[in-house]
Amino acid sequence: MPIIADLPQQSSDFLRSIESFLSAAVDWIWGPWLLILLLGTHLFLTIRLRFIQRYLFKAIRLSFARKREGSGDISHFGALMTALAATVGTGNIVGVATAVSLGGPGAVFWMWLTGVFGIATKYAEGVLAVKYRITTPDGQMAGGPMYVLERGLKQRWLGILFAFFTAVAAFGIGNMVQANSISEMLAEPMHLPVLLGSAEVSIPKWATGVVMTVLTGVVILGGIRSIARVCGLLVPIMAVCYVAGCLGILITRYHAVPEALVLIVRSAFTPHAALGGAVGVGILQTMRYGVARGLFSNESGLGSAPIVAAAAQTKNPVRQALVSSTGTFWDTVVICLLTGLVIVTSGHWQQGVEGPALTKTAFHALGRIGPLILSVGLLTFVFSTILGWSYYGEKACEYLLGSRAVLPYRIFWVIAVMIGSVVKLQAVWNFADIANGLMAVPNLIALLFLSGVVIAETRKYLWEDRLDEHAEAVAPAGVPVTTVPSAENDGTR
């Protein structure tokens, strides 16, 4: 009898041990070595590509083209909006606040710098994704790091690893974590403006889960074209509203903006006190939190965005790569910077306010409408992330198990939205974070070893001013690709 009585306690201890192990693994995976590898790749590709960021305005012009211009499933604009849907999310709101509360205002500078250099990595990912994509038997495009690793590096086992990590990470960071953040936010009492004053409203988690599950199912069961259509409508609206809210706050505090910019730059290179002087923050700690949150926000180097870039209708790899690179610009260089300025100018980061509460407090500068803008922005950001990541996970599953696995994956995805809305499992969150970090490793291997291919394609279409030329037809599944260009003809010698 005592043995039976001890079983619940033993089970509880076992679960705590698993959660402790996974938490330690998350800290190690997302530790300095991965941040150095990602940031190092950003710098390496920026140098090799002769500061590709200088073509940003050309890339922005290309991104707004909606007409069909080559083989593919969706337009440049649709691919960009779907990628932005997956990247613009809690990292832009909660992530920035966390970076400032833990690393001080200087973290905003390092986050911004990560976005500037990350443009080169996002560009390189786009080039390789389009160059090595295939046409599936049902006539759709399939691409991403798994195909780059198999067809470019001839290392299928690395492609399998990447696809596995992506399929697993998608259910956590792109699904249940997002659904849970929405349900928890709406479950808290909110004061909403009405005709005769304000009303306190809270929505049960199960109700949020039902609505989110139905909406997600309606969109993703229609495939990438349906996802791109919804994201093409949702992302611009939500981004403009959120940016307008940030600019509105900064306009009311215009006198504090120059001082905040100076503080952000100065704090990035000098030790200082944060949280009202209670905690000392060194330069390395400031860099760590800024770089980590920047990478988490824009996903440059993780290998997720190239999956949807491969579906774009484009004349050649470079055109879509330029469009893809603008995603990092909008996500981190613009939206994260504005969020950081709003938080720093508020001064609440010095008063012990941390995390999501820091952003929420800062938006009170707009009165009752401020928290509403923030809540609606977070709501739409998170829902669009669920849509974008559904496609990433689906294509990874298709690579591993074939096209027959796509429909079951979509069904499980919709079910997971409901589960994530009502249940928070820390072990699932941590396991997803581990898989998300491990996605980067095989992707970075491909980027570094195939950087010569990226240079060769960039010279052919961009540096020689042939952006309007069509590349060779996309190979069907199972057809081998040509040999990877060597260093002798990739322009590095």
- CATH code of residue 446: 1.20.1740
- Please tell me whether residue 280 adopts helix, strand or coil conformation: strand
- Considering only residues 113 and 198, tell me which one the structure prediction assigns the higher pLDDT: 113
Q: Provide the pLDDT for residue 276.
A: 42
State which residues form the domain around 337.
Answer: 18-195+204-463
Residues 6+ apart with CB under 8 A from 287: 103, 107, 110, 268
183-204 pLDDT per residue, tens: 777 777 666 555 445 566 677 8
Res 354 pLDDT > 60: yes
**What number of residues does the chain have?**
493
Q: Taking Cα atoms as reference points, which of 201, 183, 182 lies closest to residue 192?
A: 201
**Percent of the chain residues past pLDDT 70, beyond the cut:** 80
| 175 confidence band (pLDDT: 50, 70, 90) | confident
Res 482 pLDDT > 60: no
Res 124 pLDDT > 80: yes
Q: Provide the pLDDT for residue 476.
A: 63
Select the highest-mean-pLDDT range: 280-294, 332-346, 420-434: 332-346
Q: Is residue 257 part of a domain?
A: yes
**Bridge partners, residue 313, by sequence:** none
The whole-number average pLDDT for the span 228-233 is 80
Res 294 pLDDT > 90: no
Res 2 pLDDT > 70: no
- Considering only residues 420 and 199, tell me which one the structure prediction assigns the higher pLDDT: 420
Q: Is residue 3 part of a domain?
A: no
Paired tokens of 344: 């720093």
| Distance separating alpha carbons of residues 128 and 131, to the nearest angstrom | 5
Q: Provide the pLDDT for residue 490.
A: 44
Q: Provide the pLDDT for residue 7.
A: 41
Paired tokens of 358: 């820091």
Q: Is residue 12 part of a domain?
A: no
Q: Is residue 469 part of a domain?
A: no
23-59 pLDDT per residue, tens: 787 778 777 788 888 889 999 999 999 999 999 999 9
Q: Letter for the amino acid at 25? A: A
Residues 6+ apart with CB under 8 A from 23: 426, 430
Q: Is residue 492 part of a domain?
A: no
Q: What share of the chain is helix, strand, coil (3-state, %, to 5)?
A: 75, 5, 20
The whole-number average pLDDT for the span 259-272 is 83
Residues 6+ apart with CB under 8 A from 127: 317, 318, 321, 453, 454, 457, 458
Q: Is residue 172 part of a domain?
A: yes
| Distance separating alpha carbons of residues 145 and 299, to the nearest angstrom | 14
| 1 confidence band (pLDDT: 50, 70, 90) | very low
Contact present, 74 and 216 (Cβ < 8 Å): no
When mean pLDDT is compared across 210-219, 251-260, 372-381, the lowest value belongs to: 372-381
Residues 6+ apart with CB under 8 A from 233: none
What is the greatest pairwise CA distance in the chain?
81
The whole-number average pLDDT for the span 477-491 is 44
- Considering only residues 386 and 1, tell me which one the structure prediction assigns the higher pLDDT: 386
Q: Is residue 423 part of a domain?
A: yes
| 477 confidence band (pLDDT: 50, 70, 90) | low
Res 69 pLDDT > 80: no
- What is the enclosing helix (H) or strand (E) of 199? strand 197-201
- Residue 371, Cα to own-chain centre: how many angstroms? 24
Q: Is residue 480 part of a domain?
A: no
Paired tokens of 76: 């440049």
Number of domains in the chain: 1
| 280 confidence band (pLDDT: 50, 70, 90) | very low
- What is the enclosing helix (H) or strand (E) of 193? strand 190-194
Alpha carbon distances (Å) from 349 to 6, 98, 106, 140: 46, 10, 12, 48
- Considering only residues 430 and 268, tell me which one the structure prediction assigns the higher pLDDT: 268
- Considering only residues 36 and 9, tell me which one the structure prediction assigns the higher pLDDT: 36
Mean pLDDT of the chain: 80
Give the other-Cβ count within 10 Å of 13's Cβ: 11
Q: Provide the pLDDT for residue 126.
A: 94
Res 282 pLDDT > 50: yes
Res 325 pLDDT > 60: yes
| Distance separating alpha carbons of residues 182 and 78, to the nearest angstrom | 25
Paired tokens of 370: 């401020």
The whole-number average pLDDT for the span 477-482 is 51
Q: Taking Cα atoms as reference points, which of 68, 80, 356 lies closest to residue 227?
A: 80
| Residue tagged 């974590």 (tokens) | 177
| 353 confidence band (pLDDT: 50, 70, 90) | low
Residue 56 burial by CB count (10 A; 0-12/13-18/19+): exposed, middle or buried? middle
**Percent of the chain residues past pLDDT 90, beyond the cut:** 23
